[in-house]
Amino acid sequence: MKAIISDIHSNLEALEAVLEDIESRKITEIFCLGDIIGYGPDPMECLELMRKHSSIVIKGNHEEAALSAPIDFNAKAASAILWTRECIDEAPPGDSRASLEFLEGLAEKHTDNGILMVHGSPRQPTRDYLFPREIHDAARMQELFGMIDHYCFLGHTHIPGVFTQDGTYDHPNNMTMKGIYLLDEQKAMINVGSVGQPRDGDTRACYCTFDGDSVVFRRVAYDVQTTVRKIYANRRLDNALGDRLKEGR
């Protein structure tokens, strides 16, 4: 059994709640699909927890931006990632060095027993988005499925669900067994949702467990108001980044 998480976005309260839930299930392997940082108020704490608890971490676009520059970021996201980089640079030397070495060592993708893990999509691992509406773009879906052997886990949109090669998309709420997807021989791309900034109308953190035969989408309540207050108190983080957490958007 593996836990697969993504898009923590410096939300310490959400990450701690998810890690507690994972531990309660006796799961020891945690794969993170990137974007540990960005948007939220606790980047250093979240980086430390991921260094400690993750088996594998791959690079998201926010890690990429922290190491270089926030290209194609909106103003709110750019301000947050520039502040995040300052937090890393201004940390005690040992912590700063450890964080930078950790970020610099992240790969853009990982393959585990033939299962591909990326942040965005198989085509552009750190940048490409795969939104639910794109299931109707047959040419694009054919291209993406042609890049995977069987299953691909991804994040980036913060919207959980499963895309299948026969042209379907299922949100966890609409699955026959709510939140449980049974895998078969058909190729599938699985968006695991977001721990720290869900955008599907549900304020709870989202992650997946995977046992080789099925994917279970798990929702975990956390102290949203504490995270929101931290964002409001930080002049470098736009209040809208806190507002959206209260609505899961």
Please report, for the domain that includes residue 23, its CATH number.
3.60.21.10
What is the band of 71 on the pLDDT scale with cuts at 50, 70, 90? Answer: confident
Express each pLDDT in 27-55 by its tens digit: 989 999 999 999 999 999 999 999 999 99
Q: Report the pLDDT value the prediction gives residue 189, as an integer from 0 to 100.
A: 97
Query: Residues near 218 by Cβ (< 8 Å), separated by ≥ 6?
Result: 21, 179, 206, 207, 208, 209
pLDDT at 218 over 90: yes
Q: In terms of pTM, does the model score above 0.85? A: yes
What is the band of 198 on the pLDDT scale with cuts at 50, 70, 90? Answer: very high
Q: Report the pLDDT value the prediction gives residue 113, as an integer from 0 to 100.
A: 85
What is the band of 176 on the pLDDT scale with cuts at 50, 70, 90? Answer: confident
Q: Report the pLDDT value the prediction gives residue 170, as an integer from 0 to 100.
A: 94
Residue 43: give the domain boundaries: 2-247
Q: Determine the average pLDDT of the residues in 13-23.
A: 98
Distance of CA 190 to the CA centre of its chain: 12
DSSP 167: S
Q: Taking a C-beta distance cutoff of 8 angstroms, is the pair 142, 134 a contact?
A: no
Total domains, the chain? 1
Sheet holding 161-164, edge to edge: 109-112, 115-118, 151-154, 188-191, 161-164, 169-170
- C-alpha distances in angstroms, 154 versus 9, 37, 128, 158? 15, 16, 10, 10
Q: Report the pLDDT value the prediction gives residue 155, as an integer from 0 to 100.
A: 98
Find, among 146, 197, 202, 151, the residue nearest to 172 by Cα: 202
Q: Report the pLDDT value the prediction gives residue 215, as an integer from 0 to 100.
A: 97
Residue 100 and residue 89: Cα distance in Å, rounded? 9
Q: Report the pLDDT value the prediction gives residue 112, as an integer from 0 to 100.
A: 85
Mean pLDDT of the chain: 95
Express each pLDDT in 97-149 by its tens digit: 999 999 999 999 999 888 999 999 999 999 999 999 999 999 999 999 999 99
Q: Report the pLDDT value the prediction gives residue 244, as an integer from 0 to 100.
A: 97
Find, among 163, 148, 73, 146, the residue nearest to 118 by Cα: 148
Q: Taking a C-beta distance cutoff of 8 angstroms, is the pair 45, 94 a contact?
A: no
DSSP sequence for 183-246: --SS-EEEE---SS---SS--SEEEEEE-SSEEEEEEE---HHHHHHHHHH-TTS-HHHHHHHH
Query: Residues near 16 by Cβ (< 8 Å), separated by ≥ 6?
Result: 49, 222
Q: Report the pLDDT value the prediction gives residue 114, as an integer from 0 to 100.
A: 84
